[in-house]
Structure 1
Amino acid sequence: MAATADSPSGPRRRHLEALAREVEARGLRGVLVGAEEPMLRVVEPAGGRSVMVVAMPTSRIAWSYLWGRGGQADAADPARAAEAIAHSLGR
């Protein structure tokens, strides 16, 4: 099944793409993986540390980013999420 605007993977992909742009602006590498249920792999190039990030709906209109070790941020603010992820990777 292909992602459509009405399926969760449509908005999920858009949120993850926005986050990928923000983490890359901070010197990290963001790679989208998975077609049906996309995730974002964020890599700190110098040390090789990485984290997988998912975007999940928290209500009919709100989304959150979630990553390992209890990381969570509002998907409406990908810049703030990117800062938190960069910090968690030692940046």
Structure 2
Amino acid sequence: MSDANVRIPEEAKDRLAAIAASEGLSLRAYLARLAETLLTPQERAERAERARAAIEEWSGYAPTAAEERDLDSELDRRLAQVTGR
């Protein structure tokens, strides 16, 4: 495996290095492990679609796009109410 150089602010590097050290890892090993645990936007979308299909198959619940928008709006409204925004 070849290495790559990534330019980030010194403060960010120091913070990541401290986190890595607290877990007994080098910064290189910590970043490699982090990259393996995060999903790309495409992977997240695929996982969400599989979850949606599984829920629909299991429960028969299949909201329309309009129903999803209404539910999202209601959730946003409730979150704003709770957080005071």
| Global fold match (TM > 0.5) | no
Greater relative contact order (CA < 8 Å, ≥ 6 in sequence): 1
Greater fraction of residues in strand: 1
Which is greater in Rg? 2
TM bucket, shorter chain: under 0.3
TM-score of the superposed pair, with normalisation by structure 1: 0.26
